[in-house]
Amino acid sequence: MSEGRVVGIDLGTTNSLVAYMEGAAPVVIPGVDGSNLVPSVVALDPLPEGGGRPTVTVGNSARRALIETPERVIYSVKRLMGRGLSEVQSELKLFPFRLADDVEAGEVPRIQLGELKFTPPEISAYVLRQLKRNAERFFGAPVTQAVITVPAYFNDAQRQATKDAGRMAGLEVLRLVNEPTAAALAYGLDRANVGTIAVYDLGGGTFDISILKLRDGIFEVQSTNGDTHLGGDDIDNLLLTIALDEIYSEHGVDLRAHPSAVQAVRKAAIDAKIKLSTEQAAQFDIELPNGDRYQREIPRAVFEQLIEPVLERTAGPCKQAMTDAGLTPDQIDAVVMVGGSTRIPAVRQLVDDLFQLAPRGKKPHIELHPDEVVALGAAVQADILAGASTATEEMLLLDVTPLSLGIEALGGTVARIIQRNSTIPASATEHFTTGVDGQTNVAIHVVQGERELAADCRSLARFDLKGIPPMSAGLPRIEVRFLIDADGILQVSAREQRSGKAAQIEVKPTYGLSDEQVESMILESFDHAEEDFAKRLLIEARNEAETILSAVERAPESPAWQQLTGEEQAAVSAARDRLAAVKLGEDAAAIRDATLALDQATRRFAELMMEAAVTTAIRGKTMDAAGEEMGDEVTAPHPMAPAEFK
C-alpha cells in the first residue's frame, strides 16, 4: 500500500493544486468540475436535520457558499498556519472570520465556523483531503503519500503546521519542498543542466527569492530570502484605497462603513489590476447607494507609479540573496517567474533591471503557467522520492534553511548555531551545564531569525533538559544536538556526558499542536483505506451529489433564479432529476458524471448569484449573503479573486 503513487501538492493561499508525473512530464490533476485549481476555501455545510456533525465543502462550491452563509466559510487560512494568538489576532483584522471565544494564550488559535471551531491545520486538512480525493478519483486507487510545498521563507512552526495538516488529511507527507525550489525543478526538467538560476516568486500573500546552482541534475540552493507578508494583496489594497477615498470625496459616500460593499469594490479593484497587465488602462464603474456612478479610468502609467513602492520591497531580498550566494547579477544565467503577480509588466521590468537581463540579451522565463509551476515541481520531487523513475533518477534537490537558528544566551542575546542558507539537513552540537549545585533541570530557548536579540527573533521552542544527575554547579556536561531535517524542521536530542545518561527532553513548541492533538484531529479513519476504497468513492460521490442537490433545491427562492431563461431553468431541473435518480445507484462514476453535469447546468445561475450579491453589497442593502460580519478593514483578501486570466 505504501508503494502507491506519490503526488505533489501546492497548498496555496488562494488556490491549491495536485499533480503527478505521467512518464517524464508532470501533469496537474483536475477536480471533479474539470478545473485544475481548487480554491483554498472551506465551507461548513448546514447542520443536518436531526443533529449530527455537519459535513464540509471545499473549493468552488465552498466559494459559492460564501454568498449564502458567509459565517460558515473560511479562506486564505495559509496566512494563519503556525502562528500564535497575537499574530492571528492582528492577521484576522484583514478577514471576515473570528476567533473562537474560548481561545487561550499559548494554545493553537481556533477559528469559529458556524457552530464548530477549527485550528488552521484542520482547515488546511480539508483542502488537502479534497486534493487527495481528486487524485484518487483520477487514478481509481488510494493515494496516501504526498510532497507538499511551502513558501521558502516559512519558519519551523509554519512548516510543522503544514505537516500536521497532511497527517490529519490521511497523507504521509514524504517531504515539504520550498515553492521556488519546486518551480526550479519543473523548469529544470527539460533545460540545459548547468548554470545559476534565480526564482522570483511573487504570489498572493508571500514573496520568495531563491538562487540555485544546477549541475548534472543536482539542484543546489545557494541562498533564499523573502517576505511572508508581501504579495498581490498589497497591490489590491492600493487600488481599493484610491477608489474608496475618491468615492468619499467626490460623492460623499463612505463605503468603509459597509464591509460587504468594501469587498465588492475590492473585486472591482482586482479586475482592474488584472486588466492592466494586458491593457493600457482599466476602468472603475461602480453604482453607488445614492444612485451616483463612480467612474474612473486608471492608465497603466498611474498604476505603475502607484505600485512601485510595493514592488521595490522585493528588491532588497533579491540583493541580499545574491550577496549571500556571493554572486553579482551578471552571474545569474536565468530568472524564473512564479506566482500570479509576476504577470504584471512592471514586475517583469523590475526583475529585468535587478538581474540586468536585457543588456545581456535575456528575458525572464515565463513559459510555464505561473499558477501551476509549483505543483508541477512538487510532482517532480514526488517522483524523485518514489524512486525507480528514469525521468528523475539523476535529479537531486539540495535545499537550505531560510533562517538562522539560535539559542537565547545570557542577557537575551542570540548565539547562532546554524546559519541561514546552510544546506539541510544541517546539525549543530552545543554543550550546556548547570549554574547551581544540585540543579537537575536546564531550560533552553531556541529561536529563529537574524536579529541580535532573542526577543526580536521568532521563538521556536523551549526545551527543558530534565533528569540531570545532581552534581556541583558547572560539572554536568550536557550535549544537545540540534538537527534541521530535510523538511526544514528542527529535531533535538540530548545526553549528559559525565553520567552517560540520555537527558530527558520536554519539548514545548512555542506554536503548534502536540502529537496527541494532531492524532485527535485526524479527519477520519484511513486504516482500511484499501478494502473500503470502492465503497468510499461511492460515499464521496453521493456526498458531493447531496451537496449540490440541496443547493439547487433552494435555488428557486433566489431572485437570480428568475433571471434565468425558461430553457436554462428546464436544463437545471433535468440535470437535477437525473442526478437524483442516479444517486440511488451503486455506480460512483455515473454519479460523478451526473454531478458534473448539474454543476455545469447551474454555472450561469451561480454567476448571477455572485453578481447579485456584489450589487446588493454596494447598494448598501442588508444582505444575508456577504453579511455584516465581513471584515471591518479594507485589506481582506478577496476569496472571489479570479484565479486565471480569461
Cα–Cα distance, 583 to 587 (Å, whole number) = 8
**Cell numbers for 367:** 513559459
Whichever of 216 and 557 has its CB closer to other proteins, that residue is: 216
Our finding on whether 101 is near other proteins (CB under 8 A) is no
Site string for other proteins, 435-474 (x = CB under 8 A): ----------------------------------------
| Sign of the C-alpha dihedral computed for residues 313, 318, 324 and 327 taken in this order | negative
Our finding on whether 397 is near other proteins (CB under 8 A) is yes
| Sign of the C-alpha dihedral computed for residues 130, 135, 136 and 137 taken in this order | positive
Our finding on whether 596 is near other proteins (CB under 8 A) is no
Position among 103, 350, 375, 384 found at the interface with other proteins (CB under 8 A): 384
Our finding on whether 175 is near other proteins (CB under 8 A) is yes
Position among 38, 426, 564, 618 found at the interface with other proteins (CB under 8 A): 426
Nearest to 440 by CA among 474, 471, 409, 408: 471
What is the closest distance, in whole angstroms, from the C-beta atom of residue 229 to other proteins in the complex? Answer: 24
CA distances from 356 to 212, 343, 361, 524, 612 (A): 17, 19, 9, 52, 48
Position among 17, 19, 103, 174 found at the interface with other proteins (CB under 8 A): 174
Our finding on whether 385 is near other proteins (CB under 8 A) is yes
Other CB atoms within 10 Å distance of the CB of residue 100: 14
**Contact criterion met (CB below 8 Å) for 262 and 240:** yes
Whichever of 94 and 384 has its CB closer to other proteins, that residue is: 384
Which residues are within 8 A (CB) of 191 and not within 5 positions of it... i.e. 6 or more apart?
A: none
- What torsion, rounded to 10 degrees, do the Cα atoms 62, 66, 71, 77 define? 60
Position among 2, 295, 525, 562 found at the interface with other proteins (CB under 8 A): 2
Give the footprint of other proteins on residues 403-422 (CB under 8 A).
413, 415-417, 422
What is the closest distance, in whole angstroms, from the C-beta atom of residue 351 to other proteins in the complex? Answer: 23
What is the closest distance, in whole angstroms, from the C-beta atom of residue 183 to other proteins in the complex? Answer: 18
**Angle 232-251/300-312 helices, nearest 10 degrees?**
130
Whichever of 491 and 520 has its CB closer to other proteins, that residue is: 491
**308 is an active site residue:** no
**Contact criterion met (CB below 8 Å) for 538 and 583:** no
Angle at 225 between CA 223 and CA 231, to 5 degrees: 145
Whichever of 196 and 241 has its CB closer to other proteins, that residue is: 196
Whichever of 327 and 643 has its CB closer to other proteins, that residue is: 327
Our finding on whether 433 is near other proteins (CB under 8 A) is no
Cα–Cα distance, 13 to 437 (Å, whole number) = 52
Our finding on whether 3 is near other proteins (CB under 8 A) is yes
469 φ/ψ angles, rounded to the nearest 5 degrees = -60, 135
Candidates 45, 136, 164, 179; catalytic one: 179
Position among 85, 141, 327, 398 found at the interface with other proteins (CB under 8 A): 398
Nearest to 379 by CA among 136, 213, 185, 198: 185
Our finding on whether 99 is near other proteins (CB under 8 A) is no
**Contact criterion met (CB below 8 Å) for 72 and 49:** no
Helices (H) and strands (E) in the chain, counts: 17, 27
Cα–Cα distance, 341 to 578 (Å, whole number) = 42
Our finding on whether 189 is near other proteins (CB under 8 A) is no
- β-strands 6-11, 145-150: how paired? parallel
62 φ/ψ angles, rounded to the nearest 5 degrees = -70, -35
Whichever of 489 and 606 has its CB closer to other proteins, that residue is: 489
Our finding on whether 429 is near other proteins (CB under 8 A) is yes
Give the footprint of other proteins on residues 198-227 (CB under 8 A).
215-216, 218, 220
Cα–Cα distance, 618 to 120 (Å, whole number) = 31
Site string for other proteins, 32-71 (x = CB under 8 A): ----------------------------------------
- Can you say how many angstroms the Cα of residue 123 is from the centroid of all Cα atoms in its chain? 11
Whichever of 127 and 426 has its CB closer to other proteins, that residue is: 426
**Cell numbers for 602:** 447551474
What is the closest distance, in whole angstroms, from the C-beta atom of residue 97 to other proteins in the complex? Answer: 36
Candidates 78, 267, 273, 275; catalytic one: 78
**68 is an active site residue:** no
Whichever of 483 and 521 has its CB closer to other proteins, that residue is: 483
Our finding on whether 477 is near other proteins (CB under 8 A) is no
What is the closest distance, in whole angstroms, from the C-beta atom of residue 386 to other proteins in the complex? Answer: 7
Give the footprint of other proteins on residues 479-538 (CB under 8 A).
483, 485-486
**Contact criterion met (CB below 8 Å) for 505 and 466:** yes
**Contact criterion met (CB below 8 Å) for 84 and 103:** no
**78 is an active site residue:** yes
Other CB atoms within 10 Å distance of the CB of residue 440: 15
Cα–Cα distance, 599 to 596 (Å, whole number) = 5
Position among 386, 480, 609, 618 found at the interface with other proteins (CB under 8 A): 386
Candidates 45, 68, 201, 208; catalytic one: 201
Angle at 537 between CA 596 and CA 66, to 5 degrees: 50
Whichever of 268 and 405 has its CB closer to other proteins, that residue is: 405
Number of residues that bind other proteins (CB under 8 A): 32
What is the closest distance, in whole angstroms, from the C-beta atom of residue 423 to other proteins in the complex? Answer: 4
Whichever of 59 and 488 has its CB closer to other proteins, that residue is: 488
**587 is an active site residue:** no
**Cell numbers for 59:** 473549493
Name the residues that contact other proteins, by CB under 8 A. Answer: 2-3, 6, 174-175, 215-216, 218, 220, 381, 384-387, 396-398, 413, 415-417, 422-429, 483, 485-486
Catalytic residues: 10, 78, 179, 201
